[in-house]
């Protein structure tokens, strides 16, 4: 991802370049020391995030405030390319330290794109907790029909901007609690050939429904298994809970998609200039293809 670089980590912070700007943000997993001196951090950062009081009711992230150097744009774009996939993301400063993209997810985007291409015109994809739509756009770029579900209306608007910026169209947008939507699809007898889940550790649905990852993820995956195509299907599960091992994701997929033999799990990380690997999430991926395109 040429528009992104993890420059340095340490002291519970990370220094990153997103396109033309360098940002300084809190990072609870960066418990080691910084490789670069503080003077370099101060000199290079175009914007830095300061923690405030309170947390988001949506995902539990701490509130705070960005401080910007004079002349910094409040919105800008970055690009990501893989094979014939060309994605563009509109970035911006939020009150919860995020800027609209998680660069480590590029590994999952590549997997989604490749597997949707295997499915060809028959691919229909359900993306739950879809945020600003990187996974949705990867699937759509491969020709899949995509249903994008998120419970936060402003995030859906942001996702649409990314879709148009990437010169894509016809993604189906749903503003609803993920569990409610999946259970309704079960009752309808719907079938999907791919399901993507990127749930927060904590969250609130469109009507205030409570989401707790440890308590709810198994029930949701059981429901997802009921709408999975029995012959041609893949699933991507991403978990941001710091207490979860990759084996948790692997065991969840093995239990809920018992007929699948191609299951992998691991950590998604980014490496800074000093070679330190910053762990950011764990993933599990499974696939089962009886008939696919070459």
Domain 4-77 has CATH 1.10.287.3610: no
CA distances from 74 to 103, 164, 226 (A): 19, 19, 43
Residue 205 has pLDDT above 80, yes or no: yes
Distance (Å, whole) CA 168 – CA 138: 10
Q: What are the tokens at 158? A: 């942001």
Residue 57 has pLDDT above 50, yes or no: no
pLDDT tens profile 135-155? 999 999 999 999 999 999 999
CA 216 to chain centre: 18
Distance (Å, whole) CA 73 – CA 129: 28
Q: What are the tokens at 183? A: 């259970």
Q: What is the pLDDT of residue 293?
A: 60
- Indicate the helix (H) or strand (E) that contains 233: strand 233-239
Q: Please, which residues have CB within 8 angstroms of residue 85's CB and are 6 or more apart in sequence?
A: 109, 113, 138, 141, 142
pLDDT tens profile 94-113? 998 999 999 999 999 999 99
Pair type for strands 85-92 and 202-204: unpaired
> For the residues of 48-80, what is the DSSP string, one character each?
EEEEEEEE-TTT-PEEEEEEE-TT--SEEEEEE
> For the residues of 114-131, what is the DSSP string, one character each?
HHHHHHGGG-EEEEES-T
- Indicate the helix (H) or strand (E) that contains 280: strand 277-288
Q: What is the pLDDT of residue 125?
A: 98
**pLDDT (mean) for 212-232:** 96
pLDDT band at 53 (very low <50, low <70, confident <90, very high): low
Segments making up each domain of the chain, as ranges: 4-77, 100-288
Domains 4-77 and 100-288 alike in fold: no
pTM for the whole structure: 0.94
Domain at 100-288, CATH class: alpha beta
Distance (Å, whole) CA 144 – CA 124: 5
Residue 1 has pLDDT above 90, yes or no: no
Q: Please, which residues have CB within 8 angstroms of residue 121's CB and are 6 or more apart in sequence?
A: 143
Distance (Å, whole) CA 88 – CA 104: 15
């Amino acid at each position: 991802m040429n528009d992104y670089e993890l420059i340095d980590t340490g002291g519970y912070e990370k220094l990153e370049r997103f396109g033309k700007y360098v940002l300084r943000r809190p990072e609870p997993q960066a418990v080691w020391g910084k490789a670069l001196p503080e003077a370099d951090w101060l000199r290079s950062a175009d914007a830095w995030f300061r923690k405030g009081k309170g947390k988001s009711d949506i995902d539990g992230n701490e509130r705070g405030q960005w401080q910007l150097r004079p002349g910094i744009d409040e919105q800008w774009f970055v690009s990501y390319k893989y094979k014939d996939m060309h994605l563009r993301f509109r970035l911006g400063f939020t009150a919860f330290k995020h800027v609209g993209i998680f660069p480590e997810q590029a590994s999952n985007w590549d997997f989604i794109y490749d597997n949707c291409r295997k499915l060809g015109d028959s691919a229909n994809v359900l993306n739950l907790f879809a945020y600003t739509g990187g996974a949705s756009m990867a699937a759509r770029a491969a020709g899949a029909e995509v249903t994008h579900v998120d419970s936060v209306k402003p995030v859906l608007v942001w996702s649409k901007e990314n879709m148009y910026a990437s010169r894509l169209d016809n993604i189906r947008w749903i503003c609803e609690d993920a569990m409610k939507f999946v259970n309704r699809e079960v009752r309808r007898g719907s079938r999907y050939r791919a399901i993507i889940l990127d749930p927060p550790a904590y969250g609130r649905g469109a009507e205030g429904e409570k989401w707790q990852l440890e308590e709810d993820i198994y029930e949701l995956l059981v429901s997802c298994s009921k709408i999975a195509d029995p012959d041609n299907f893949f699933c991507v599960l991403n978990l941001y809970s710091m207490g979860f091992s990759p084996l948790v994701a692997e065991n969840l997929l093995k239990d809920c998609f018992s007929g699948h033999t191609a299951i992998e799990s691991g950590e998604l990380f980014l490496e800074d200039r000093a070679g330190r690997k910053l762990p950011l999430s764990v993933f599990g991926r499974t696939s089962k293809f009886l008939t696919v395109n070459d």
